[in-house]
């Protein structure tokens, strides 16, 4: 070796280690349970679900056009849904955004009983006992909430309960930007 | 003793081999057409159960896995090809649902990364070995100067007598002060 470059190759192992350690540190902070939704920016799948009780109107994809709306997926057996319920009631009372819901994989009558026992924050609820619409939406668990813009396209998917922090930090800015962008 | 050991080994291997057939498909899910059922099993083994962390939907007993198994069988019964059925699920859950990541630009590093690292490591190893092979040649002592030769002769001649003081100086030659001539340094490796 000529003496133009000092002996830098001695640093190669530590540099390689450092680079790999950085990559691992980054990757280890990734939650493997968090999956990005493939439906972002795609229209809500066509669907028409029956209502939970006789005589009420069910939920169809056409209900989700017009204003920016939230589509919440819940189940009576889901503790996280119970956790986010007070926040949803607040949102409904403040009329911050129209709330629609899918009752996912519940036995007949259970969803209705749950809504009657705790208040019903939703304008309309569709019954999905088989979970088939859930699969079309890429749902992997409950609760999940989709933000749907005025043209009926899904713009955001939140997996997990909506807590006041999540509402303030994630949903409110997003709703504001979607409404002004229209 | 050897016989018992080989019997145990064979039993363990047999258990391990049949464990690979573990499945969660229940009889009511299975399709009547064996060809379709076979395709469904194959496809299920390549789809990840997204709530289970690294089980295929064929292996997992989670409710979502069951839903997806039923869905795959429905799509196949409706006439979808294997690729179409898999595409149907990927459209809803993304590429993460494939146990074998697709070969795309953004997965190129995933596929070729290990081979690349191996190549880099092999290059580094070759480089290091070559340098080590060269080093001993540099260590050859340069010929001593005339003054050093005389000094050496004197020291060797005095070794039989009481060369204590001189020897101690020699022993600590490097530490008592700078060596008189730079040539005594040539035997130390400078790498």
Say what the pLDDT of residue A156 is: 92
Query: What is the distance between the alpha carbons of residues B73 and B156, in angstroms, rounded to a whole number?
Result: 94
CA atoms within 13 A on the CB side of B108: 3
Distance from the B50 Cα atom to the nearest Cα atom in chain A, whole angstroms: 7
User: Average pLDDT of B106-116?
Assistant: 86
| Residues on chain B touching A141 (C-beta within 8 angstroms) | 51, 64
Candidates B53, B63, B64: best to mutate against A (most CBs of A within 10 A) is: B64
Backbone angles phi, psi at A10, to 5 degrees: -65, -20
pLDDT tens by residue, B28-52: 788 888 888 899 999 999 999 888 8
Query: What is the distance between the alpha carbons of residues B77 and B88, in angstroms, rounded to a whole number?
Result: 14
Q: What percent of chain B has pLDDT over 70?
A: 74
* A137 vs B100, higher pLDDT: A137
Please tell me if residue A135 touches chain B, with a CB cutoff of 8 Å.
yes
Query: What is the distance between the alpha carbons of residues A135 and A80, in angstroms, rounded to a whole number?
Result: 20
Say what the pLDDT of residue B174 is: 47
| Helix (H), strand (E) at residue A157 | strand A154-159
Strands A124-128 and A99-104, bridge-based pairing: parallel
Residue of B nearest to A134 (CA): B92
Candidates A7, A75, A138, A154: best to mutate against B (most CBs of B within 10 A) is: A138
Tokens 């002592």, residue?
A: B141
Whether residues B93 and A141 touch (CB distance < 8 A) is answered with no
Rounded to two decimals, the pTM is: 0.69
Q: Are A157 and A145 in contact (CB under 8 A)?
A: yes
Per-residue pLDDT in tens (0 to 9) along chain A, 182 residues: 555 666 777 787 888 889 889 988 988 887 766 777 888 889 999 999 999 988 888 999 999 988 999 999 999 999 999 999 999 999 999 999 999 999 999 999 999 999 999 999 999 999 999 999 999 999 988 999 999 998 999 999 999 999 999 999 999 999 999 988 75
Whether residues A32 and B53 touch (CB distance < 8 A) is answered with yes
Q: Which residues contact A33 (CB under 8 A, 6 or more apart)?
A: B51, B53
| Residues on chain A touching B96 (C-beta within 8 angstroms) | 35
Three-state secondary-structure class, residue A14? helix
| Residues on chain B touching A12 (C-beta within 8 angstroms) | 124
Three-state secondary-structure class, residue B61? coil
Return mean pLDDT, chain B: 78
| Residues on chain A touching B51 (C-beta within 8 angstroms) | 33, 140-141
- B53-72 residues touching A, CB cutoff 8 A: 53, 63-64, 67-68, 71
| Residues on chain B touching A37 (C-beta within 8 angstroms) | 94
Select from B176, B183, B186, B88 the least CA-distant residue to B144: B183
Q: Give the relative orientation of helices B34-45 and B63-77 as an angle to the nearest 10 degrees.
A: 130
Q: Which residues contact B26 (CB under 8 A, 6 or more apart)?
A: B66
Backbone angles phi, psi at A49, to 5 degrees: -105, 145
Query: What is the distance between the alpha carbons of residues A75 and B65, in angstroms, rounded to a whole number?
Result: 18
Backbone angles phi, psi at A114, to 5 degrees: -65, -40
Residue of B nearest to A19 (CA): B117
Please tell me if residue A160 touches chain B, with a CB cutoff of 8 Å.
no
pLDDT tens by residue, B128-169: 888 877 665 555 667 778 888 888 888 888 765 554 554 545
Distance from the A110 Cα atom to the nearest Cα atom in chain B, whole angstroms: 18
């Amino acid at each position: 070796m000529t003496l133009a470059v000092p002996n830098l190759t001695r640093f190669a192992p530590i540099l390689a280690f450092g680079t790999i350690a950085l990559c691992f540190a980054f990757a280890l902070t990734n939650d493997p349970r968090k999956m990005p939704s493939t439906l972002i920016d795609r229209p809500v799948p066509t669907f028409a679900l029956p209502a939970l009780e006789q005589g009420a109107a069910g939920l169809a994809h056409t209900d989700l056009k017009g204003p920016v709306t939230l589509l919440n997926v819940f189940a009576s057996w889901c503790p996280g849904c119970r956790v986010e319920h007070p926040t949803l009631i607040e949102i409904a009372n403040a009329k911050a955004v129209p709330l629609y819901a899918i009752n996912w994989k519940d036995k007949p009558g259970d969803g209705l009983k749950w809504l009657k026992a705790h208040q019903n924050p939703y304008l309309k609820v569709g019954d999905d006992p088989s979970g088939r619409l859930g699969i079309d939406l890429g749902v992997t668990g409950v609760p999940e909430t989709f933000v749907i813009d005025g043209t009926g396209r899904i713009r955001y998917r939140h997996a997990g309960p909506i807590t006041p922090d999540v509402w303030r930090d994630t949903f409110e800015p997003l709703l504001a930007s979607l409404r002004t962008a229209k | 003793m050897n016989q018992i050991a080989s019997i145990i080994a064979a039993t363990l291997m047999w258990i391990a081999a049949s464990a690979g057939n573990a499945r969660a498909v229940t009889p009511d899910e299975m399709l009547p057409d064996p060809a379709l059922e076979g395709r469904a099993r194959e496809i299920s083994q390549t789809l990840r159960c997204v709530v289970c962390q690294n089980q295929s939907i064929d292996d997992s007993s989670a409710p979502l896995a069951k839903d997806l198994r039923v869905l795959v069988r429905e799509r196949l019964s409706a006439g979808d090809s294997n690729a179409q059925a898999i595409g149907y699920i990927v459209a809803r859950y993304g590429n993460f649902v494939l146990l074998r990541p697709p070969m795309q630009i953004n997965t190129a590093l995933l596929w070729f990364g290990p081979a690349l690292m191996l190549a880099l490591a092999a290059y580094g190893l070759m480089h290091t070995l070559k340098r080590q092979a060269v080093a001993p040649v540099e260590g050859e002592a340069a010929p001593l100067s005339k003054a050093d030769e005389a000094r050496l002769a004197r020291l060797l001649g005095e070794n039989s007598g009481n060369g204590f003081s001189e020897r101690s100086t020699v022993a600590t030659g490097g530490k008592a002060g700078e060596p008189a001539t730079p040539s005594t340094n040539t035997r130390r490796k400078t790498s």
